[in-house]
Amino acid sequence: MADLETFRREARAWLEANCPPEMRTPMTSEEDTFWGGRHAKFSSEPQRIWFERMRDKGWTVPHWPKEYGGGGLDGEEAKILRQEMAELGARPPLTSFGISMLGPALLKYGTEAQKREHLPKITAGLIRWCQGYSEPNAGSDLASLQTRAESDGDDFIINGQKIWTSYANYADWIFCLVRTDPAAKKHDGISFILFDMASKGVSTKPILLISGRSPFCETFFDNVRVPKAHVVGQINRGWDVAKYLLQHERAMISGMGERGVGRPLGQIAADAIGSDGQGRLDDALLRGQIATFEVDEAALAAAAERMTDLAKAGQGHPAFSSAMKYYGTELNKRRYELLMSAGGIDALEWESTRSREGARPRAWLRTKANSIEGGTSEVMLGIVAKRILDLPGA
């Protein structure tokens, strides 16, 4: 315990000394996120300084082993670091699907050569990854995927189409599910493979969301040649890797339920609507909704803490991330509904400098996708019914 207290003191002092003041404010726009990658651009000098300091300290991914570019922290130390960063309001220095999705799968299923090749490039922000799972006829029923990988000596030749591939047009590499044995049952015969998006035969076509932004793409593979050595896990056993990765993806997405909008909703509402003589929000209905929301938000934070502690103790349930994904994303959608109600008429402003080009309504519309991406709410509830509650008929 004394060691942990020392670690906390030292971490706090280091963060205080090294986190630029501009990186201690809430993230309010896409530019506030640094994704890394071959074509990475920093949106500000403080963002660059913060990323580089954290990278050099090994704290872009504090809990990964040092030999793969991580910080080598154990579970308790990583938790303390998270708490201290939250206390300071420090932004994550690097966000990437490499950290939240591929990395955990590589640590469990990758060969030593694959770990040494890919993990340090993730922690150093050198390579940006995208996820090639969904296809036009394989979303919730992912195992129906049809993208083919045919054997050709030491390589596979990949043909097919993915859809909803987030940031595929900015990504350097893709982790992709392909069918390597069309004769096998649908969950068998799938492989999990990695390749460079700059490979000959890969192309992307952006798709617009209702927010007017285009964060994702259709992705096409036309005779893309990929070495068999790039398969993670065993050939035809990719479903195991895919499911494991989904657990991490869902846990990561559930985190959006804990992320606020920078200021308490009650304060935002009071600015737009006003307060009564006792300093309370001058709209009893909205006041009640915000209070209920804040209680649910606290409940999610407590459940997340419990999930982390159980996982650390080796007692985590593999399907619990689905419960968290469901709750966290539904909560985030409620948060933005309230934010719109709290903003009064100004919240609808769509195109103007004052509204930062409609940052609020666009963020609100973006949240509508939260309960679809990474698996829909209906599918999450199905998993909870079957695998956690063991309900009859599920």
Ligand X SMILES: Cc1cc2nc3c(=O)[nH]c(=O)nc-3n(C[C@H](O)[C@H](O)[C@H](O)COP(=O)(O)OP(=O)(O)OC[C@H]3O[C@@H](n4cnc5c(N)ncnc54)[C@H](O)[C@@H]3O)c2cc1C
Interface residues with ligand X (CB under 6 A) are: 130-134, 139-140, 164-166, 216, 369, 372-376, 378-379, 382
Question: CA 199, 164, 376, 61: dihedral to nearest 10 degrees?
Answer: 50
Smallest gap from residue 263 Cβ to ligand X (A): 25
Nearer to ligand X, 11 or 127 (CB): 127
Smallest gap from residue 240 Cβ to ligand X (A): 17
Nearer to ligand X, 59 or 133 (CB): 133
CB 346 within 8 A of CB 305: no
Smallest gap from residue 98 Cβ to ligand X (A): 13
CB 60 within 8 A of CB 93: yes
Smallest gap from residue 286 Cβ to ligand X (A): 28
237 Cα distance to chain centroid: 24
Nearer to ligand X, 161 or 166 (CB): 166
CB 163 within 8 A of CB 128: no
Smallest gap from residue 197 Cβ to ligand X (A): 13
Query: Judging by DSSP bridges, how do beta strands 216-227 and 155-166 pair with one another?
Result: antiparallel
Nearer to ligand X, 47 or 165 (CB): 165
Smallest gap from residue 175 Cβ to ligand X (A): 10
- Residue 175 to residue 346: CA distance in whole angstroms: 41
CB 228 within 8 A of CB 158: no
Nearer to ligand X, 46 or 139 (CB): 139
Nearer to ligand X, 341 or 370 (CB): 370
Instruction: Report the candidate in 138, 139, 156, 137 with the shortest Cα–Cα distance to residue 148.
Output: 156
Nearer to ligand X, 133 or 320 (CB): 133
Nearer to ligand X, 109 or 164 (CB): 164
Smallest gap from residue 378 Cβ to ligand X (A): 3
* Sign of the C-alpha dihedral computed for residues 272, 278, 280 and 284 taken in this order: negative
Spell out the residues 6+ positions from residue 10 whose beta carbon is closer than 8 angstroms to its own.
Answer: none
260 Cα distance to chain centroid: 16
Question: CA 17, 23, 25, 30: dihedral to nearest 10 degrees?
Answer: -170
Smallest gap from residue 137 Cβ to ligand X (A): 8
- Residue 223 to residue 201: CA distance in whole angstroms: 6
- Residue 44 to residue 31: CA distance in whole angstroms: 9
Neighbours of 348 (CB within 10 A): 13
**Strands, E assignment, the chain:** 129-132, 148-152, 155-166, 173-179, 190-196, 202-207, 216-227, 231-232
- Residue 133 to residue 161: CA distance in whole angstroms: 10
Nearer to ligand X, 145 or 268 (CB): 145
Smallest gap from residue 335 Cβ to ligand X (A): 17
Q: How many CA atoms lie within 13 A of 155 on its CB side?
A: 8
Question: CA 27, 324, 146, 115: dihedral to nearest 10 degrees?
Answer: 70
With CB atoms as reference, the residue minimizing the distance to ligand X is: 139
Nearer to ligand X, 62 or 215 (CB): 215
CB 97 within 8 A of CB 131: yes
Smallest gap from residue 382 Cβ to ligand X (A): 5
Nearer to ligand X, 208 or 301 (CB): 208
Neighbours of 141 (CB within 10 A): 11
Smallest gap from residue 122 Cβ to ligand X (A): 16
